[in-house]
Amino acid sequence: MTRVWRPVVSGSVIEPTAEGYALSRTTPFTGAAKDAADWTAKNAGEPQMMAGLAEARLLQALIVTGRAQRVLEIGTFTGVGALTIAEALPPGGHLTSLEVDPETAETARGHIAASPHAAKVEVLVGNAADTLARLPGPFDLVWIDADKRSYPDYFQAVRDKLSGHGVIAADNLFRDGDTLNTESTDRGTLAMRDFADSVREDPEFDSVLLTIGDGVLLAWRRPPG
């Protein structure tokens, strides 16, 4: 079947029937992540900022199959991604989540404190670029999901903080389709293209851009063989 890509102003670029079927065959949110997602859908000003179901389950797959112990999230929001990550971490695993807005961080902390995962998660308040400069790593998984203009800087800040089997997952590569619009002048979109290009051109990394949600880029250090 021939598919024609059409630019969209907002919403998924994935064909809706395929996306609906894919999501219907993905384990629904459960436990504390579901509670936080329900709260966010009802109460948050921009609920679409929380992790989507496909992205959340992908993060869990990476954690479980990669035996991740130390995870970094850039952009906490209301804690849905953080709780999803914490749920998949083994006992003793740890998530550091970075959030610039103190009020948002308090909301996330409330959801995390009410969950069974509080001991695994710390939320650090401040501009992620500043916080990253003093975080030593190594991290087995880095989830980049904050201000889009900073993605190129975030990649440079975390690439040398990955563990040997570490992986970077970055959200919103499609920017609701704007990344695919070659005439876009949006600064976030241009930064996102720079980010994707710099990962693709990094001789030490391999990557794949997954057509799930709003586009998730995975990048990991190329094995020596």
Q: How do beta strands 205-210 and 94-99 pair?
A: unpaired
Query: Which string of x and - marks every residue 4-43 that binds ligand SAM (by CB under 6 A)?
Result: ----------------------------------------
Q: Closest separation between CB of residue 224 and ligand SAM, Å?
A: 32
CB of 111 to ligand SAM, least distance (A): 10
Q: Which of 13, 70, 81, 158 binds ligand SAM (CB under 6 A)?
A: 81
Q: Which of 63, 68, 123, 146 binds ligand SAM (CB under 6 A)?
A: 146
DSSP annotation of 14: S
- CB 120, min distance to ligand SAM, A: 15
Which of these, 133, 124, 206, 131, lies nearest to 168 by C-alpha position? 206
* 149: phi then psi, degrees, rounded to nearest 5: -65, -20
CA dihedral 199, 201, 203, 207 (to 10 degrees): 40
Residues 99-138 that bind ligand SAM (CB under 6 A): 99-101, 104, 127-128
* Cβ at position 144, least distance to ligand SAM in Å: 9
The one-character DSSP state at 28 is P
DSSP 121: E
Q: Fill in the per-residue mask, 157 to 196: x = in contact with ligand SAM (CB under 6 A), - = not in contact.
A: ----------------------------------------
Cα distance between residue 91 and residue 213, in whole Å: 29
Interface mask toward ligand SAM for 57-76; x: CB under 6 A:
----------------x-xx
DSSP 8-state class, residue 100: S
Q: Note whether 144 binds ligand SAM by CB under 6 A.
A: no
Other CB atoms within 10 Å distance of the CB of residue 148: 22
Strand partners, 167: 141, 220
Site of interaction with ligand SAM (CB under 6 A)? 49-51, 73, 75-77, 80-81, 98-101, 104, 127-128, 145-147, 150
